[in-house]
Chains A and B, each alone.
Chain A
Amino acid sequence: MKDITKLTDEKIVELVCKKDKELYSQIIKRYQDKLIRYANYLVGEDNYAADIVQESFIKAYINLNGFNTKKKFSSWIYRIVHNEAMNSISKQKKHIPLYKDIDFDSGINLEEDLIKKELKLHANNCLQQMQKIYSEPLALYFLEEKSYGEISDILRIPVGTVGTRINRAKVIMQKICQK
């Protein structure tokens, strides 16, 4: 068998569905950091975010046969986390401060990317004050480095709307940050 680390997510999903369900651990390894960070943007708390991601991995596994392997797996799993976070927030019906105490650890050496992280941390304060419809695409684009197409897939909005929201978010952010 090929080296599993070289396989695409979609290929691994195909193998999980057809042959070896234990390969799902590879998916978890690849995505848990990114997804916890993303869930953190949405709920603002590490443990809460981890619970959401764990539940998302379970839901994703249960519905894995419904995933179209011709599409991008990352967008699909991000979408599940988004839905799970939104459902969880509305169930709790309490306001969770967004973007509070966020860790932007991406697994990359801190020294290498210090300036970028400083920028990210500075941006975090401004993001806290924005509406979620603007802050979420902005965070996905700048902090998660997702393309417009991927953001469109994750948030289920047209690519044009992603662009509009990001542009508007930039203006709002500029105003907020300059205060």
Chain B
Amino acid sequence: MSKIKKLNKNKAKLDMEKVVMGKIKSDEIKMKPKWLFVLGSTFIMAGLVGLTVGAIFLTNLTIFIIKKRGPGYGRLDLMLNSFPIWIPILAVLGVILGIWMLKKYDFSYKKNFVLIILSFIASVIIAGLLVDQLGLNTIWSHQGPMRMFYQQFQSPQDNSQKVRENGRLYNIHGNGY
């Protein structure tokens, strides 16, 4: 290496320390406070938990609707028209947001990314099926704060109740008639 080049390089090194430390001492640059990072991590975790719970719920609801209205539900276009497209769209958006968050932040950088995504999708579907198998959909559609929400996806026959009165069987619909 030539002498001039070496001298320039040494000067650059000295300047670098001087410049950076000068900015620090003059408070031109300041450290971000610790709480900001703690809050950021908390938001990420809460966001991921929310996304997972939301995705499980939406998957479960999709299964519920398919079971209620099923493949035999009217003509194909009618079925497509009445199918709540927003559910899978929201689920896919949720997964995309999750991927973006995982890529943006550091905590999973050493993991196999494809495996994480596949595991996430698989666990959401399994959890959705499990919720359905456990009969939680039936419980939620008949009682609790989710009742009204579920009932809008049920067919009119399901909203009716079979009542036995004076030995005869009556169908009582949601409107009471």
Chain A interfacial positions (CB closer than 8 Å to B) = 17, 21-22, 24-25, 28-29, 32-33, 36, 46-47, 50, 53-54, 57-58, 61-66, 103, 105, 152-153, 156, 158-159
Q: Specify which of A29, A46, A53, A65 is in contact with B37 (CB 8 Å cutoff).
A: A65
23 pairs from A and B in contact (CB 8 Å cutoff): A17-B31, A17-B34, A21-B24, A22-B24, A28-B16, A36-B12, A36-B13, A46-B5, A46-B8, A47-B12, A54-B20, A58-B23, A65-B33, A65-B36, A65-B37, A66-B37, A103-B5, A103-B9, A152-B110, A153-B110, A156-B109, A158-B110, A158-B111
- Closest Cβ–Cβ distance, residue A8 to chain B (whole Å): 20
Name the A residues within 8 Å of B24 (CB-CB). Answer: 21-22, 24, 61
Cross-chain contact B13 with A62 (CB below 8 angstroms): no
Name the A residues within 8 Å of B77 (CB-CB). Answer: none
User: Nearest 3 pairs between A and B by C-beta?
Assistant: A66-B37, A156-B109, A65-B34
Residues of B30-64 contacting chain A, CB below 8 A: 30-34, 36-37
State the interface size on chain B (CB cutoff 8 A): 27
Name the B residues within 8 Å of A152 (CB-CB). Answer: 110
The verdict on B118 contacting chain A, using a C-beta distance below 8 Å, is no
Cross-chain contact A50 with B1 (CB below 8 angstroms): no
Given contacts A24-B21, A62-B30, 4 further A-B contacts (CB under 8 A): A32-B16, A58-B20, A63-B31, A65-B32
How far apart are the CA atoms of A38 and B22 in the complex, in Å?
24
Name the B residues within 8 Å of A36 (CB-CB). Answer: 12-13
How far apart are the CA atoms of A12 and B23 in the complex, in Å?
19
